Amino acid sequence: NNSDSPAACLPYQNNTVLYAYSTDIGYGTYSWGADNMIGFALYYKTTANVRFDTKQEEEIEYHSDPQSFNVSLYSHQPDASLGYGDKTTGSNLYNVLKKFLNNKKASLCGALVYIAVKRYPDETDVSDIISQLRANHVMVNIAVDSIPSGGSNSATLYEMSYQTNGYCMFATGSDLFQAFGWMTNILGWPYQFIAQNFVVSGLGRVEIPAFKTPIPPGIEEGCLFAVTVQNHNAPQIIECRMYSRYYHDFVKLPDFNYHDFLPLPPF
């Protein structure tokens, strides 16, 4: 349960997964996320789902088996007709997260939260929510449609993600659901071992210090990485060149030259 003190919370206890999605989100984004989560649900003690931005606020549903999770998700598919029906009302996402943080049904410790956003929230200060998430080692990953159905503030979404060692990406259409597919695929390989944030501008170079992976010596295993570059959906051209030092040689990784709203996906 969520009565554990933060000091007793060990981050490897990833036993709860929450999938929260706007009722305005595109079906492709929703279903790709849902399929990944159902597929990996067996690895987690508790799964939970909630559809938000509905006129009649819906409750979070908690599950102990993939079958009930599947039934719940596909009986609560996105449906814009259930939404607010205007472009001015902000998302109720943060109310939903407050309920999750105060729930009595599932452990918060080390929980993984995946969110698909179409309507932006209006709140400008969510430091209280971020503090609770961090205290319980909850990691938040968010996919944000760069063409919102309403609301005014997307920056807090980005802040909540990076403050909890997750990531937030902006995209739309097929770019959005493909990137969300990669994001939710992390559930199959949830052992994150590095997360860093850098303030950069113009031209320059950032070198990440050497780090040790959890992969045993002598074993080769692929790793996912994600790079995000801005906390808003304003279009701009970004060039990024990445190198990996391996056996004292620099191995060039693929160049990124992304424009408009394309995300930088994990590889």
Residues 38-76 pLDDT 10s: 999 999 999 999 999 999 999 999 999 999 999 999 999
pLDDT at site 250: 44
The answer on pLDDT for 254 being more than 50 is no
Based on DSSP, count helices (H) and strands (E) in the chain, helices before strands. 6, 10
The answer on pLDDT for 36 being more than 90 is yes
The answer on pLDDT for 263 being more than 50 is no
Q: Identify the structural domains of the chain with CATH numbers, from first to last.
A: 11-188 (3.40.50.410)
Kindly give the residue spans of alpha helices, DSSP state H, lying in the chain: 27-40, 66-74, 93-101, 127-135, 155-163, 173-185
Of the given ranges (75-79, 82-86, 100-104, 245-249), which has the lowest mean pLDDT?
A: 245-249
Q: What is the distance between the alpha carbons of residues 170 and 147, in angstroms, rounded to a whole number?
A: 9
pLDDT at site 199: 78
pLDDT at site 257: 41
The answer on pLDDT for 267 being more than 50 is no
Q: What is the distance between the alpha carbons of residues 83 and 23, in angstroms, rounded to a whole number?
A: 6
Contacts of 249 (CB under 8 A, 6+ apart): none
pLDDT at site 202: 76
Half-sphere exposure of 124 (CA within 13 A, CB side): 1
Contacts of 94 (CB under 8 A, 6+ apart): 121, 123, 126, 129
Kindly give the residue spans of alpha helices, DSSP state H, lying in 9-126: 27-40, 66-74, 93-101
Task: For residue 156, give both structure tokens.
Answer: 């807090």
Summarize pLDDT for 157-176 with one digit per residue, the tens.
Answer: 999 998 999 999 999 999 99
Helix (H, G, I), strand (E, B) or coil at 13: coil
Of the given ranges (53-57, 99-103, 193-197, 249-253), which has the lowest mean pLDDT?
A: 249-253
The answer on pLDDT for 142 being more than 90 is yes
Query: Helices 173-185 and 27-40 sit at what angle, rounded to 10 degrees?
Result: 10
The answer on pLDDT for 147 being more than 50 is yes
Q: What is the mean pLDDT of the chain?
A: 83
